[in-house]
Structure 1
Amino acid sequence: MRRNTAHQVEGLVRGSIAAILNVTGETWTELGAAVGLTTDTVSRRQKGTSAWTLADLGRLADHWRIAPSSLLSGPTEALAKLDVERVKAIRSAKGRPARDGVLVA
């Protein structure tokens, strides 16, 4: 009988999302609003209480303008696929700095 436990890929996804949020400066509330989820839903998914769905990954990827598969590959891959100009736009909308193509956390 199979146990109902999380697969390691779920940790990679949560790690990818956390890394991107750190770079963009977005909060769970702002991310939820951008992809049509409540703050509580984002919180549960990032804490591992519930899993991100494929549709969620598609919406997150669309928001950040990366391939959904980048989120499955882990934080390093996800961050490498981010477009600096997209991150600058997100940070700028929040009043956060970005300089010379180098992202400032």
Structure 2
Amino acid sequence: MSDAPHRYEKIEQNLREAIAAILKETGEQQKDLTKLLGHRSLTMVSRRQRGTTSWEISEVGLLATHWQMPVGALFEGRNAALQALPPERAAQLRHSKEAPVLQAA
């Protein structure tokens, strides 16, 4: 029996965790992603982040471009995504959202 479905679920989980971590780091919200991706409703992003619906590869590409990072880092999970997110881009997005600038520990 193949464990391919399990690996697929892990990739989806990694992606959701990476997106959630980047949103926290940048001060962005799901509604910002809704607008960026051209969805009419927050429900589309919310369903993807809950795992009800899978992220489309084109959407992941748009997010990576928006965050100025390699798309592959999003599939590797939270830590890889945060390391790949350029600090200047995170600061720029936080500033645009009037979120506090986080300092490295």
Query: TM-score category by the smaller chain?
Result: 0.7 to 0.9
Secondary structure of the corresponding residue to residue 71 of structure 1: helix
Taking structure 1 as the reference length, what is the TM-score of the superposition?
A: 0.85
Unaligned runs of 5+ in 2: none
Q: Does 1:83 align with 2:95?
A: no
Match of 1:20 in 2: 22
Structure with the larger helix share: 2
User: Which is worse superposed, 7-16 or 36-45?
Assistant: 36-45
Percent same amino acid among aligned pairs?
35
Question: Quick one: distance in 2 between partners of 1:27 and 1:74?
Answer: 18
Question: Quick one: distance in 1 between partners of 2:36 and 2:69?
Answer: 15
**RMSD of Structure 2 on Structure 1 (CA):** 2.0
Which residue of 41, 48, 55 corresponds with 2:51?
Answer: 48
Q: CA deviation at 1:97?
A: 2.1
Question: Quick one: distance in 1 between partners of 2:42 and 2:65?
Answer: 19
Aligned structure 1 segments of 4 or more residues deviating by more than 6 angstroms: none
Q: CA deviation at 1:35?
A: 2.6
Q: CA deviation at 1:36?
A: 2.1
Q: CA deviation at 1:31?
A: 1.6
Deviation digits for residues 39-78 of structure 1 (CA, Å, limit 9, x no counterpart): 1110000000000011011001001001110000010000
Question: Quick one: distance in 1 between partners of 2:10 and 2:99?
Answer: 33
Taking structure 2 as the reference length, what is the TM-score of the superposition?
A: 0.85
Deviation digits for residues 68-100 of structure 1 (CA, Å, limit 9, x no counterpart): 10000010000000111111111111111216x
User: Which is worse superposed, 8-17 or 29-38?
Assistant: 29-38
Unaligned runs of 5+ in 1: none
Match of 2:63 in 1: 60
